[in-house]
Amino acid sequence: MTRDPIRVALALLLFVSAALFVAGSIVEHGHTTTNEKNTEKTGETGTEATESTPHVETGKGSERIFGLDLERPGIVAIATVLTLALAATALLWRDRKALMLILLFAIAFAVLDVREAVHQNSEGRTSVLAIASVLAAIHVIAAGVSGAGAVRRSRGSPLAS
């Protein structure tokens, strides 16, 4: 049985995006921890509220979407498992609906990645900005690949079966 190159490429893109997402979360968590320590150090001569309040981003740069804190380890784990499940689906499920599901997922994650890149740019975190930008590009490419595969599948191309 030969594998459809589109589905293999799509699965690889999703596997890479899952790994980068976890790496980006780890790097960002390291930045947050460093900022908390810096806040505590500068708070020694400041007010008591600064010393006891950890660095929490609020307002325009908030990490909450639809009330969910996207930096929580549980949310990161769910997103990673979902991405890996979709990568496996790209390889194993031969239905056009699978490609359409991956297309929707990739578009949604690309939007979130762009939002994260803008946020990280405003925070001045270039390492996380770079990761978020690469993830956005990977998700846009994955959306294009899955869309192309879905169109090819609907036209009855033998490669898409």
Q: Do residues 21 and 76 lie in contact, with contact meaning Cβ atoms separated by under 8 Å?
A: yes
Q: Do residues 32 and 70 lie in contact, with contact meaning Cβ atoms separated by under 8 Å?
A: no
d(CA 132, CA 103): 19
**Ranges assigned E (strand) in the chain:** 64-65, 68-69
Give the model's pLDDT for residue 100.
94
Is this prediction's pTM over 0.85? no
Residues 49-77 have pLDDT tens digits of: 444 434 444 444 446 766 777 778 888 99
Residues 114-137 have pLDDT tens digits of: 999 999 999 999 999 999 999 999
